[in-house]
Amino acid sequence: MSAAATSNAQEQANDGVMPQVVRELVRALGRERVLSTPEELIAFEYDGTIERGKPQAVVFPESTEQVSAAVRIAHRFDVPVIPRGAGTGLSGGAVATIGGVVIALTRMKRVLEIDVANRLAVVEPGVVNLDLSKAAAPHGLYYAPDPSSQRACTIGGNVAENAGGPHCLAYGATTNHVLGAEIVLADGEVAWLGGTTRDVAGYDLIGAFVGSEGTLAIATKIVVRLMKLPESTRTLLAIFDTVDDASNSVSAIIAAGILPSALEMMDRNIIAAVEPVIHAGYPLDAEAVLLIEVDSLEEGTVEQAEAIEKLCSANNAREVRLAVAQPDRERLWAGRKTSISALGRLYPNYYVLDGVVPRTKLVEVLRKTYAIAERYGLAVANVFHAGDGNLHPNLLFDERDPGATARVLDAGAEIMRVCVDAGGSITGEHGVGLEKRDFIAWIFGPDDLAAMAKLKPAFNAGERYNPCKAFPTHKGCGEVRQAHIQRTAGAIGTDIYV
């Protein structure tokens, strides 16, 4: 069967039962919680990457019971289920690749409990990341994982992708802060993983669940650790005339035994996008800047900031600025947090990559990244978590230019291969999703993949639970992108991607 025929067959099978599925969903959840018309579904074709795929229905449950009911209906009719948070994901994880029912969890947004004594919170999956820290702040607490999209992304989506963020260098990614979760399995059954303590007897099932990208279950309640707000915080901006010097400074800081809470790098193209709008104080003529933060007791941050300034200066920083007052620190961070979205000022489209390399390989890999982009005729802007080697090259393009999207995808694949060949990985925090599912064999052998695949039946999750994500195992998924291109390119007359 051809690629187009395979994809058509999958969607037609869904189409045949969808009217009945929608009726059942409306009956169980109410008309106000179900979308099914073409114009209603357009907004749910994509997440934060360039992958696309239209669902056949979207539901907005407001309780665990409603999530369970929606999943049971989809399971009964053998229709795919796609969990979705705020849609800010960057790997196609919330894209309905072969249609199905999207379960959007954004209406489940209550902070159910803040336990100050035990420094934990119980939240629903639709709670916005930053809102959790705001709720905890009056108690002198905060939630450490802070993706750049933290003003919009949700805790449920963070759990699904094991999201990171600038301050995960010192404090760890989402998995280090999740203690337990109430989950809905693929047949609608409700269960709990983990609990309210760090050491639960038995297998670490919550560890397996965090980062499973919606392929095992849907979290409906999440127990997270909270941390005490630091006594003192200092933020430094180190300015460099070469990317190499900035990269070498990163290695020097870590080699000196200093572990900043955050250590970020931005190159010239990022600065050009951000500075004219945010006015963060990044020099427009710099080739790179490092944004470095330390937090601890007052004496500790003073000593660390002085040591970092000396190390950067020894690696040819032309200037190191120190911000102690909160407004000054917030202005510096505003530039970093809005950096990727600001790229829209430079080009209509950008493709965000997410690779990891050893810190000592930063110079080599960044040089190759710039060379690959140049060879494909693409501009590239780099902003990334330099301290843990988590790179985010942004390939800039205009999808209306014939062949542009194909070149971007090819260049992105080459950059990911460079990361792997340098001893790194294809993702640090965005997940594998649909975007990089075919790259995972670069890292794991057939036996490794087979062992990991056994988790799905252990969770009673079939191939209809967020299909085509994370692993190249779902029949027909490997043909989906090409099938859609064949079906639509002639009618549109430009690049089409799904």
pLDDT at 498 over 80: no
CATH for 347-435 (3.40.630.10, 3.20.20.70, 3.30.70.2740, 3.40.50.2300): 3.30.70.2740
356 within 8 A of 390, measured Cβ to Cβ:
yes
Which segments of the chain belong to CATH 3.30.70.2740? 347-435
Residue that is written with structure tokens 């190191």 in the block:
320
pLDDT at 60 over 70: yes
Average pLDDT, the chain: 92
Looking at the domain 111-228, which fold is it?
3.30.465
Instruction: Specify the pTM.
Output: 0.91
pLDDT at 479 over 80: no
C-alpha span between 420 and 424 (Å, rounded) = 5
Q: What is the mean pLDDT of residues 360-375?
A: 97
- E strands, 373-455, are 379-384, 390-391, 393-397
What pLDDT shows up at residue 462? 81
Architecture of the domain whose range is 3-106+452-492: 2-Layer Sandwich (3.30)
Architecture of the domain whose range is 232-341: 2-Layer Sandwich (3.30)
Q: Where residue 441 falls among pLDDT bands split at 50, 70, 90?
A: very high
C-alpha span between 320 and 235 (Å, rounded) = 10
Which segments of the chain belong to CATH 3.30.70.2190? 232-341
pLDDT at 485 over 50: no
What pLDDT shows up at residue 199? 77
C-alpha span between 463 and 443 (Å, rounded) = 22
Instruction: Enter the DSSP assignment of 305.
Output: H
Which segments of the chain belong to CATH 3.30.465.10? 111-228
pLDDT at 341 over 60: yes
| Dihedral sign from CA coordinates of 156, 159, 162, 165 | positive
* Tokens (6 digits) for 75: 């399971």
Q: What is the mean pLDDT of residues 342-356?
A: 94
pLDDT at 487 over 60: no
Which segments of the chain belong to CATH 3.30.43.10? 3-106+452-492
95 within 8 A of 52, measured Cβ to Cβ:
yes
What pLDDT shows up at residue 494? 29
